[in-house]
Structure 1
């Protein structure tokens, strides 16, 4: 891969020249979550080079973005952030740097639910509660409010019965979900996990496809359902997927990416697919991918109309696994404040005004 080193430490990456060009062409930035490194990473372009901004969150996985809203699923909570561009030019630590600034606005303490994919819908934020094998909504009175479970799961229990992981929305309504097995026992998905995955139609509960190679990240683009087969590194297009219509469904491989494929987002004609290394001691350490030398942790860019790979970036150190990737449309250099950065406490906003406050001095 022809590459240019990005001068960031310790999250050093290599990338093909097309990556900053594509981000500049589309006019977007990327947001990644890596639970292994404990970061949400924003990646931006100035047209020639990439700029990274890693921020600390506790084992982040699921990431949802909708306009000026962002949600990050961490080990014990869901962090809700809002973009406040009026604060960006006067950000105390780097003034006149960012064109957007995502700041934490609330935290929902849900517990260690292993929350995977999340999507903003007309019913609010919907997430995948992998521990309890269900989809859920936030409710300030409870850890979570279940809204759906696969038809083969008979009871909600903290047992990760099927490793429910992915969901896709159409017109802001949940339509599809993926799981790694059709199991109703604690951890039952682990047996035969490499080829036991299922794609489900949420409104009807129908299983549309089974025998899948560890499906993740279902997404609907231009009316076509795509998903990632993680253990084979394949991006596939599902043919014939319609509301409640099982029909004669099949899938076609669009292309393969170099790693455990998980996390996908689209901007224009491009899709960004995240890949991870698989460590031997990992839950998936017995997969064939774990022993291969050609797998990388990074992001592969594909031209969706043709399926061709047109750009790649890979991490050389610090980051070995990525869970999710999202596009931040229209943002050329966004900023982000995490809970571990005390500056977020000073980011004050009202509908009409914004201020950078200061901590109250203790009484003498």
Structure 2
């Protein structure tokens, strides 16, 4: 048997129709393969994926036509230019949206996890320095908030702060971490049962002994969260920190977004030689990597996309509402440098003809 080609995937028959009906596409980040991948419906029967290379992409943030991507040592802000999409030189009359790099913050290595737009601007979970950070042109980051048990900002990943939820007013509201120690990587000691949920405003722990919490998200009906070690999708009662399990998936769940009554959850395989997760309840069943769609009224999975090759670990997932065939440019092929966007018009630079080029000698 010939093995499937790299980045092969399968999907449930209803996925193309579901994305068409919801009028959206899906973006995922996979730091393991160094890509941001966009999934769209080609028609009612076919999906299409568009992978783009980024250096260890992690958190994704979307707001007002901007898609931010946290990478190994940069925070890249891309902006949607629909007028450029239609005339994209490599594939014209194909895309309805095109995210083009506009700003890059050279942050240095911070191990940024979740990032999100807030009323404070773009906020990132700065895992290495155990704090929430904002960004500008003066520093690698500015400390916006840190847990009360973190005594100083050092690049020691003391509690593995990883997730951030924004409330309806745009305030950073809840964070998740894998522990509450104040020493370098102390969270590893009891990682599978030492996770916490914190209220940012009160700087207090409202839930503890959580099995590897990730991806807290506030929706109209409350706070949702993923428990990676058990594969559970949960709703949290913030008054007492207790939670109800909505559904359980066969995978290490991390990365979640919602549109209407549908919840999209990213699942990852666990590394066979992982010493950190080998005792996790989900370890034996964590054999698929991809996207699961949950129909919220029933709590049941109703669709999926599963990778067969190449991709084993995902970090984040974002719904791209109203975008049926999006594209995103990176820095690798320099295509973004051919774009010129003004407040009134957009242009793709024309390649210079050889006879118009000046000869330069030294």
Give yes or no for contact 2:188–2:276 (8 Å, CA) kept in 1.
no
C-alpha change, 1:363 and 1:282, in structure 2 (3 Å) is farther
Q: Number of residue pairs matched?
A: 351
For 2:175, the equivalent position in structure 1 comes to 177
Q: Aligned match of 1:202 in 192, 200, 203?
A: 200
Alignment of 1:31-42 (within 5 A): 31-42=27-38
Contact 1:219–1:225 (8 Å) recurs in 2: yes
Q: Which moved more, 1:305-314 or 1:259-268?
A: 305-314
C-alpha RMSD of the superposition: 1.5
In the alignment, what sits opposite 2:98?
A: 101
- Which of 20, 26, 33 is the equivalent residue of 1:30? 26
**CA deviation string 1:136-159 (max 9, x = no partner):** 001210000010011111111000
Structure 1 SS opposite 2:56: coil
- Hey, what does 1:363 align to over in structure 2? 358
Q: Give me the TM-score of the superposition, normalised by structure 1.
A: 0.93
Whole-angstrom distance in 2 between the partners of 1:307 and 1:27: 22
Question: What's the CA shift for 1:286?
Answer: 2.8
Cα pair distance change 1:351/1:340, threshold 3 Å: same
C-alpha separation in 2, matches of 1:287 and 1:258: 15
Residue among 328, 333, 350 paired with 1:336: 328
| Worse-superposed segment, 133-142 or 14-23 | 14-23
Aligned to 1:300: 292
2:49 aligns to what? 52
Counterpart for residue 268 of structure 1 = 260
1:38-117 pair list within 5 angstroms:
38-45=34-41, 46-117=43-114
Is 2:244 aligned against 1:252?
A: yes
For 1:225-240, list aligned pairs within 5 A: 225-239=223-237
Q: 2 CA distance for matches of 1:313 and 1:132? A: 34
Residues 206-221 of structure 1 mapped to structure 2, 5 A cutoff: 206-221=204-219
SS in 2 for 1:87: helix
Shift of 1:294: 5.2
CA deviation after TM superposition for structure 1 residue 280, in Å: 3.2
Structure 2: distance between partners of 1:210 and 1:293? 25
- Structure 1 consecutive aligned stretches of length 4 or more whose deviation exceeds 6 Å: none
- 1:287 Cα deviation (Å)? 3.6
* 8 A Cα contact 2:58 2:71, kept in partner: yes
